[in-house]
């Protein structure tokens, strides 16, 4: 259950952190002159604290509801780690309350995080369209592109994993999805945000040209 608690904490925190980063992008694009004031060290500390408070509350709710379940017989979980859905499938008692909790809390967390993201990008898009220079618009879009990519990949895999009927769950699909949002997405986040750096893009293009040259020869 300790592993489940920390898994839920970091999974929920990822969503709220993406919402906080959307606000950061809003401050950078819409109020660039006040960015250092808006996103001060104190403001960032408050945002991070709020992220982990919300994540911890959600993790406590899921873990405490899982403790009340009974597990008998073959207590072998067919998964890479202690995830909510595989544990519910292993339980021999009623999981109605747990499934309801997953739906309600999952829906709340998705709305509470995607709402600020959507609002932030509505203001960002409105502000970008007012910029007369095409070069400045392109620069503003590139500032937000990496974050939007991370948002799409994260929420796509989460909704595929948790927001579907229990009868349609497949062990293979669950394993693939869990590896995707616990391993692949954090790796992609590093790559996505690194590609904003000109030096990283230069080195990557240099390596790709060398690889293409070796393949052609």
The single-letter DSSP state of residue 74 is: -
pTM of the model: 0.77
Number of structural domains the chain divides into: 1
- Give pLDDT tens digits along the chain (217 positions): 788 888 889 888 988 988 998 998 888 888 888 888 888 889 989 999 999 999 999 999 988 888 887 776 666 666 666 777 777 777 777 888 888 888 888 889 989 999 999 999 999 888 888 878 777 777 777 778 778 888 887 887 777 766 666 555 566 666 676 776 667 766 766 666 666 666 666 776 777 777 676 555 5
Q: Rounded to 5 degrees, what are φ and ψ at 40?
A: -70, 170
Domain limits at 84? Answer: 2-216
In the block, residue with structure tokens 């959507």: 118
End-to-end, the C-alpha distance of the chain in Å comes to 55
| 8 Å CB contact between 72 and 61 | no
Can you give the CATH number for the domain in which 7 is found?
A: 1.20.1070.10
């Amino acid at each position: 259950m300790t592993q489940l608690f920390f898994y839920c904490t970091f999974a929920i925190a990822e969503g709220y952190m993406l919402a906080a980063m959307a606000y950061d992008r809003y401050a950078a694009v819409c109020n660039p002159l006040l960015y250092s004031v808006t996103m001060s060290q104190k403001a960032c500390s408050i945002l991070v604290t709020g992220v982990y408070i919300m994540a911890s509350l959600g993790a406590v709710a899921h873990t405490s509801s899982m403790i009340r379940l009974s597990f008998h017989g073959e207590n072998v979980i067919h998964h890479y780690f202690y995830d909510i859905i595989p544990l519910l499938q292993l339980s021999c008692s009623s999981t109605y309350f747990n499934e309801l909790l997953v739906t309600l809390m999952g829906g709340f967390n998705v709305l509470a995080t995607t709402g600020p993201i959507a609002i932030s990008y509505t203001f960002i898009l409105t502000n970008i369209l007012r910029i007369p220079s095409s070069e400045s618009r392109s620069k503003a879009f590139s500032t937000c592109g990496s974050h939007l990519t991370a948002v799409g990949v994260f929420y796509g895999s989460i909704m595929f994993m948790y927001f579907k009927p229990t009868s349609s769950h497949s062990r293979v699909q669950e394993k693939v999805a869990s590896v995707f949002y616990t391993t692949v997405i954090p790796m992609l986040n590093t790559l996505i945000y690194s590609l904003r750096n000109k030096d990283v893009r230069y080195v990557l293009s240099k390596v790709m040209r060398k690889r293409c040259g070796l393949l052609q020869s």
